[in-house]
Structure 1
Amino acid sequence: MARVFSLPDFFLPESPGRPIVYKKIKAKYRPVPQYGLQSLVRLLSGIESNLKPSFERQLNWPVRVVLDDHDGAAGVILPLIPDEYFVSLRRSSGEIKRRPAEVQYLFTDSRYCARVGIPYPDESQRLDLCRSLSFAMVMLHKLDVVYGDLSARNILFRVLPKPAVLLVDCDAVRPKGGAAPLGAQPHSPDWEPPEAVKARARRDSTGYNIQNKETDRYKLGLAVLRILSPGRGCSTNTDPKVVKSVLPPRIYSLLEQSLSVNPSGRPEAQTWYKEFTS
């Protein structure tokens, strides 16, 4: 949908030392209404000053909207993703490729990670990553923003200097009372909540496309489950029983509630965060 260009010679006045990039929307996806993207940029000014550094560390948020001579927005300016959120992936040919450290790599087993040369976090580090993810969702939901397509490719992770996650594609989120700037928020395959699966079965496209805090909470629970249960079948697993024997009862209970078919019973991100920090 977009191409990303480095802007090594440009800086914003409010953060003169912070590298930025230009995410240019491809012509076939335009026009994109500029006002929706501008509303996301304006949200930054409403964040409490004590939370803003954490917000900027954990969400790759648009900081400017770019316009050109055509209708709508041409793209957005984003902070450059820090190096620690990339991995050097060793291919079978021996070639090394630099890739975003997508959370999908956490779903693989230790042998795969050793073979391709990427980190394999231990159990404690994985719990810290889950805590970081839950806090990112706390901040979004506190602003009444629905992330939407929370999935294996939109969450980046790092292990050092300390475990943390970074949410990307934040130009596709939906603030309360508005539409997602880039159109309907998708469900990635194998990340569909039960209510979307049921809607698809009855060919209800409107019901299928609904995204809200409850669907975010389901996907948060799914991410926690998969981060904590790496190995065969992890990337499609929706059954919390696979980790029941290794999790504290309270965390397992939250997993069961999060993956429930009852949206109203899913715990808030704040509940997850408190549990991971207790």
Structure 2
Amino acid sequence: MFAPGGAVRVDVSALGHLTLLDKGGQGTVYATSVDGSRVYKEYSAPVLTTVDDGALTAMARLPGGLTPADARSLTERTAWPGTVVTRNGKVSGFLMPRAPQRFYVPMTMPTGTRTKLALTQLLLNGDDFARRTGLTTSDAFRLEFLYDVAETLEFLHRNDIAVGDLSPKNLCFSFAARPRCYFIDCDAMRVRGASVLDQVETPDWAVPGGEQRATTTTDEYKLALLVIRMFAGEQNATDPAVLDRVTPALRRLAERGLSGDASRRPDPAEWKRTLAMAMRGGTTPAPVPAQSRPGRAANVPPWNRPTGSPNVPPWNQPTGSVTVPSWNRATGSATVPPWNQPTGSATVPPWNQATGTARVQRPAFVPVQPPGPPAAFVPVGAGRRFRAGTIAKLAVVVAVLAYGLPQAGDWLRTATENWRPDRPTPAEQARSMADLLADSGNDRKKVIAAIEDIMDCRRLTQAATTLDDAASSRTALRDRAGALPTGELARGAELKTELTAALDWSRAADQAYAGWARNMARADCGSSARRGVDRARGDAQSKQATAAKKRFVALWNPIAAQYGHEQLSYVRV
């Protein structure tokens, strides 16, 4: 924010000349003459009567209270309100960043090609609209976009932020780079229990009746809707069966996400895991479009650049030429909206300046491929180890000789599923698991004490901080658990699954109880806060954590006995 001295508030007179950009139901958006990177949203008079001044100020202060990494993530993924603007001493609106250039797309319109803000609703109008406007997408893009949405929600929820009105009207997409999502209209979010405005919902994106709006569980419901509608290409689809074409695991997750029982809905972390698995197998990346930026080689992934040039494998060269998709052959003049013209000139993004002419081409979507094979491999059941280079070369030769180039890639993908990376012995794997379990119990006493403080309405701020710290610790433990090798242990895959599930549920419960503590403090321990949604959510998630812990110790204790480690009760996980 550009406010003098880093002030959270600035008078509207300091913004210089205001240029109208857009007008909506809540107010008007202006460009300012003093900072081309930000815009000013001024609330309308009726909306101003409902604005919570304190909540808006807290939003503007929030980035300063985050870690540097979290503050960067917030500004990278959201148009977060950075400065409160006043007029005659009273709040009138706020400054927020412009959407980054990669969140604009060229669209083919009857009157020519126009640059538009890449709102997700543009992708939910069916195949015919997508073809006519040049906004065709692939399942590979959808998976990456949804993964980045889930990752952003996970980050926001970890910082006690609920989006609330999660809909395609306030979520942007990018064909050009990761992360592929960007949230706008952030003043509608609920931050640490407080809302700037009355919570509203976009039609066809409402949660089941009776639920409190703008909670992490309502975000989870709407995330399930978003996944379904992205693959259906429709604004109001609700049938999870459309996801079977990608993987039944996504359909099952969406069915849980639409449950009227909020405790059954998968959280963003669970969505991330399933989307990541879908990205690693079963989806075909979109073809890489030809270059659209002058002076640079085409943006071709490394596996298509054996000599550093944009080489196309023989099976993609029926005529010897590189086919450029139609949506990279835009015609007509580029109309640039006024919010991209801070200096009054029609600013054309660098990738559209092929010859100096304002000729729009869509930035290439390049799928981010899953990581390649690990450095060393050993066949299942083999007693000796082999050099990875020798194995890889032999596998390629066998694949090409046996199947030819077109099928070699498929054969290798199938073959590598029957190989495993060099790994520790069973005893070493058991030792690593025991070490992690010893660390997992460190915060338990503090968490129990914090919850007792909340129930007794004492030291509420300290209790919330303790629970936030515990949630962060669980996140670190969950990441460690996910990286542990367990393949040599009895039912090792189940063992890891139950432990990571227990840590995920425990982290979610800690976050919910932290929100409960803050609500108790704000409500001065009133009866409604004691029975609030955060406590109910925390209790439900704690119950799920307990069930996963019981399943885990039933698997772990026989292993612990076999390798001389302490057997545990579920309460010590």
Q: Shorter-chain TM-score category?
A: 0.7 to 0.9
Q: Give 2:226's aligned residue.
A: 223
C-alpha displacement of 1:274:
2.9
Residue deviations 1:170-208, cap 9 Å, x none?
011112232x102x21111111122x2xx4xxxxxxx5x
C-alpha displacement of 1:96:
4.3
Q: Does structure 1 residue 265 correspond to structure 2 residue 257?
A: no
Q: Give 1:15's aligned residue.
A: none
Residue deviations 1:157-176, cap 9 Å, x none?
11113460111100111122
Structure 2 CA distance for partners of 1:106 and 1:220, relative to 1, 3 Å: same
1:110 partner amino acid: D
Query: C-alpha separation between the residues in 1 aligned to 2:239 and 2:108?
Result: 32
Q: Give 2:94's aligned residue.
A: 76
* Structure richer in strand, relative to its length: 1
3-state SS of the aligned residue for 2:167? coil
Matches within 5 A, 1:172-183: 172-178=188-194, 180-182=195-197
Q: Does structure 1 residue 189 correspond to structure 2 residue 203?
A: yes
Structure 2 length-normalised TM: 0.42
May I ask how many residue pairs the two structures share in their alignment?
251
Query: C-alpha separation between the residues in 1 aligned to 2:52 and 2:214?
Result: 20
Q: Give 1:274's aligned residue.
A: 273
3-state SS of the aligned residue for 1:228? helix
**Greater relative contact order (CA < 8 Å, ≥ 6 in sequence):** 1
Which of 122, 129, 133 aligns to 1:112? It is 129
C-alpha displacement of 1:85:
1.3
* The 10-residue stretch of structure 1 (267-276 or 35-44) with the greater mean CA deviation from structure 2: 267-276
C-alpha displacement of 1:270:
1.7
Query: C-alpha separation between the residues in 1 aligned to 2:274 and 2:125?
Result: 25
Structure 2 CA distance for partners of 1:163 and 1:123, relative to 1, 3 Å: farther
Q: Give 1:38's aligned residue.
A: 57
Query: C-alpha separation between the residues in 1 aligned to 2:130 and 2:56?
Result: 37
Structure 2 CA distance for partners of 1:210 and 1:54, relative to 1, 3 Å: closer
3-state SS of the aligned residue for 1:257? helix
Query: C-alpha separation between the residues in 2 aligned to 1:49 and 1:274?
Result: 26
* The 10-residue stretch of structure 1 (98-107 or 212-221) with the greater mean CA deviation from structure 2: 98-107
C-alpha displacement of 1:212:
1.4
C-alpha displacement of 1:33:
2.9
Q: Please, which runs of 5 or more residues in structure 2 have no aligned partner?
A: 1-25, 278-573
1:139 partner amino acid: F
Q: Give 1:134's aligned residue.
A: 150
Q: Give 1:155's aligned residue.
A: 171
2:30 partner amino acid: F
Contact 1:58–1:136 (CA under 8 A) maintained in structure 2: yes
* Percentage of pairs with the same residue: 27
2:222 partner amino acid: K
Q: Give 2:238's aligned residue.
A: 238
Structure 2 CA distance for partners of 1:163 and 1:64, relative to 1, 3 Å: closer
Query: C-alpha separation between the residues in 2 aligned to 1:250 and 1:176?
Result: 32
* Structure richer in helix, relative to its length: 2
C-alpha displacement of 1:74:
0.8
Structure 2 CA distance for partners of 1:48 and 1:275, relative to 1, 3 Å: farther
Residue deviations 1:14-73, cap 9 Å, x none?
xxxxx11111112232232321111111221232322332221111111111111164x2
Structure 2 CA distance for partners of 1:137 and 1:163, relative to 1, 3 Å: closer
Matches within 5 A, 1:201-216: 210-216=213-219
Contact 1:88–1:97 (CA under 8 A) maintained in structure 2: yes
RMSD over aligned CA atoms reads 1.9
